[in-house]
Structure 1
Amino acid sequence: MSRLPVGHLDTETCKVLDIVHDSVVDGEGLRTVIFFAGCPHRCDGCHNPYSWNMDNGSDMTVDELFEETFNPLTNITFSGGEPFAQARQIKPLAKRLKASGRHIWIYSGYTLEQLRERNDPDEIELLASCDVLVDGPFILSERDLTLSFRGSRNQRIHFLT
């Protein structure tokens, strides 16, 4: 049985590399992680350089992503690539997941300050639907495997809600 509102159809598509269910390393608790394609940061030592190219992703509609990720027992993480590279496409999904009670983490190579300075309405709206932002580019010289939920010491965890 569909969980979508009657008559609702969202055909906006996102470029998705992968969806991982039941992750415990991409935010607190049990999470479903959506890895979005496309990343302008191209960090040296990136663990997923395949994510840099937007063409490496598969098209999925917001409705398909909602159906694939909706599980009342797990929360959601947006990762990449760079989720904010697709902010316009992702924000409706974030709003629907949030309205369904999901707790949302988002990883970005941008800092919180950069996102605010960019003042892109789609990025601000996406950020407003998220509970936690892990920000900053991966910096190989600051790599630290002892950190929870981060790859390098410069990255910060912001509890937004």
Structure 2
Amino acid sequence: MYYGNIKKIDIANGEGVRVSLFVSGCRNYCKNCFNPETWDFKYGREFTSDTENEILTLLEAKHISGLTVLGGEPFEQENQRDLLPFIKKVKEKFPNKDLWFFTGYIYDKDLIPGGKKYCELTDELLSYIDVLVDGPFIEEEKDISLKFRGSRNQRIIHLKNK
């Protein structure tokens, strides 16, 4: 897996001060996507054990509320396979920090058994996520007043409350 960016201090992609990982690779191709360079699965740098250690070190800071994973698209099946072992480490080391994921896919359609992005790891990956922001960016529903979303169709789903 490759990634386009790591934001060490981010207040735009989840509650509190966060570390954000922008993974590469996306097949949604949303019109006027804010991050189209990350559609390419080879964009940026390779995600390695050094990358994992960098993020884990950043998460140690007391002022960091948690980790956000977005992209690109974390739920492309190849990204799920690479992210799951890392996310397990994050939750083991920082059980009190929350985990937000952003996806252009729809939680109760695409990430369920039989859904187009469901694989053998999806349920386990979802089990670690506290908040999922789902749905494709739709230019016609763009609303800059929304918190943590770009268009009105996107939802903030608190998975730990289900």
TM-score range with shorter-chain normalisation? 0.7 to 0.9
The offset of 1:88, in angstroms, is 0.4
The offset of 1:23, in angstroms, is 0.3
The offset of 1:154, in angstroms, is 0.3
Task: Determine the structure 2 residue equivalent to 1:120.
Answer: 119
Task: Determine the structure 1 residue equivalent to 2:51.
Answer: 65
Task: Determine the structure 1 residue equivalent to 2:101.
Answer: 106
Task: Determine the structure 2 residue equivalent to 1:46.
Answer: 33
* Pair 1:36-2:36 in alignment: no
Listed as ranges, the matches of 1:7-46 within 5 Å are: 14-46=1-33
How far apart in 1 are the matches of 2:68 and 2:74?
A: 10
Structure 1 letter corresponding to 2:112 = R
- The alignment covers a number of residue pairs equal to 147
Task: Determine the structure 1 residue equivalent to 2:155.
Answer: 156
Structure 2 letter corresponding to 1:65 = T
Gaps of 5+ in 1: 1-13
* Pair 1:142-2:129 in alignment: no
* Pair 1:95-2:88 in alignment: yes
Gaps of 5+ in 2: none
Misfit runs of 4+, over 3 Å: none
How far apart in 1 are the matches of 2:92 and 2:159?
A: 16
Cα shift readout 1:56-109 (whole Å, capped 9, x = no counterpart):
131122x32331112223210000000112000000111111112231100000
Asked whether the equivalents of residues 66 and 97 of structure 1 are also in contact (C-alpha less than 8 Å), the reply is no
Q: CA RMSD in A?
A: 1.2
Moved more, 40-49 or 94-103: 94-103
Matched residues, percent identical? 37
Cα shift readout 1:36-60 (whole Å, capped 9, x = no counterpart):
0000000001011101111213112
Asked whether the equivalents of residues 95 and 129 of structure 1 are also in contact (C-alpha less than 8 Å), the reply is yes
